[in-house]
Amino acid sequence: MREILGRRRRLLSQRSDGRPELISAALTCATEWQWPVLPGVAPDPQGRSRCACPDPECTVPGAHPFDPGLLAATTDPRMVRWWWTNRPTAPIILATGGKAPCAVSLPALAAAHTLAALDRMGMRLGPVVASPSRWAILVKPYTLEQLGELLYAKDCVPGSLRFHGEGGYLALPPAETGEGGIRWERAPLPGSASPWVPDVEPVADAAVEVLTRTGVSAPEL
């Protein structure tokens, strides 16, 4: 029955032109999974590689909060419905940390190798968000103190590795940003329960090992 309901939800979340319906996805995040979300700023319609925010050198065009700010993120279905009714093409932005998942992100190719390494270890993974250049592996919430202890124990932390923790954010599928489409590399399983995610430590360990071995250590946008 859960698979049937999940399939029905996916079918209902499609517009007549076949594009995913953002408001449906945003409501799923907020009401079913209890992930606080808010609308992101859209890419500049005059040039999708640019952002519609006031910063002419924005490094994450169309993939960040602006108005409202990150503190406005909520699980209130009324607010979510109002936002995306008025801004139907706005990207879905997850406010990471707290009770919501955090994430570890790294360049796409290295991320694919990291997932393969974790699969070989037999580690259970949750959802993975993919953009054209970077993938983000969702993990359980962690504190800055926990992250600091984890990274301090390592000889080297590649600059291309990023952590989306408390006070951070992440664009969720489906969305079109200045970089391109945001999709699920590994989608949450159908059902009403909040998607399961792993601890940050084994994910970070595998990511650091892959990035160090492959030489992808410099900061990347």
| Each residue's pLDDT tens digit, 32-70 | 999 999 999 876 666 556 777 778 777 777 788 888 889
Integer distance in angstroms from the first to the last C-alpha of the chain? 42
d(CA 111, CA 6): 27
SS (H, E, C) 88-157: CCCCEEEECCCCCCEEEEEEHHHHHHHHHHHHHCCCCCCCEEECCCEEEEEECCCCHHHHHHHHHCCCCC
Q: What SS3 class is residue 216?
A: coil
pLDDT reported for residue 46 = 65
Report the alpha-carbon distance of residue 24 to residue 12 in Å, rounded.
8
> What predicted TM-score, i.e. pTM, was given to this entire model?
0.83
Closest residue by Cα to residue 139 from 74, 207, 191: 207
pLDDT digits (tens, 9 = 90+) for 166-186: 999 999 999 888 778 899 999
At what angle are helices 108-120 and 200-214 packed, to 10 degrees? 120
Q: Are 130 and 63 in contact (CB under 8 A)?
A: no
Predicted pLDDT of residue 188: 92
Low pLDDT (below 50) residues in the chain: 1-20, 218-221
